[in-house]
Amino acid sequence: MTTAMQAHVAAGFSGAAAPSHAVVSARFLVTAEADPGLLPRLLEPFSKLGLVPSRVHASRESGDGSMISVDLRMTQVDARQAELVENSLRRVLGVSQLLAAVERPAGTAPAS
């Protein structure tokens, strides 16, 4: 994980990391209660913005299967859109934890 990603894992998008017009890659790691309606609720923020995640991977966790982990990724997306998706995912019913990471493409300078 790059330093830029590590800074966002704990705090999410603080608003200071990337200008809204910057193109970034974003990763969202969600832990939530296993529920039949969870996956559509997690994909809805992408759909509302006309986005399709580049990766969606879900697996049941914990010994009794009561929790699910979902890895959602976007590549080549506007930083503001990634921030909107993150904020929406945080409000999804059943989500107990969300880790967000954002990364600029290699060779791009950080915003000053």
Is residue 5 pLDDT above 60, yes or no?
no
Of 27, 11, 51, residue with least CA distance to 103: 27
In terms of Cβ atoms closer than 10 Å to its own Cβ (0-12, 13-18, 19+), residue 45 is buried
Inter-axis angle of helices 79-90 and 38-48, nearest 10:
150
What does the pLDDT look like over 18-73, one tens digit per residue? 555 789 999 999 999 999 999 999 999 999 999 999 999 999 977 888 999 999 99
Percent of the chain residues past pLDDT 70, beyond the cut: 76
> Which CATH number fits the domain 3-8+21-103, given the four candidates 3.30.565.10, 3.30.460.80, 2.40.50.180, 3.30.70.260?
3.30.70.260
Domain ranges for the chain: 3-8+21-103
Euclidean distance between CA atoms 65 and 6, whole angstroms: 29
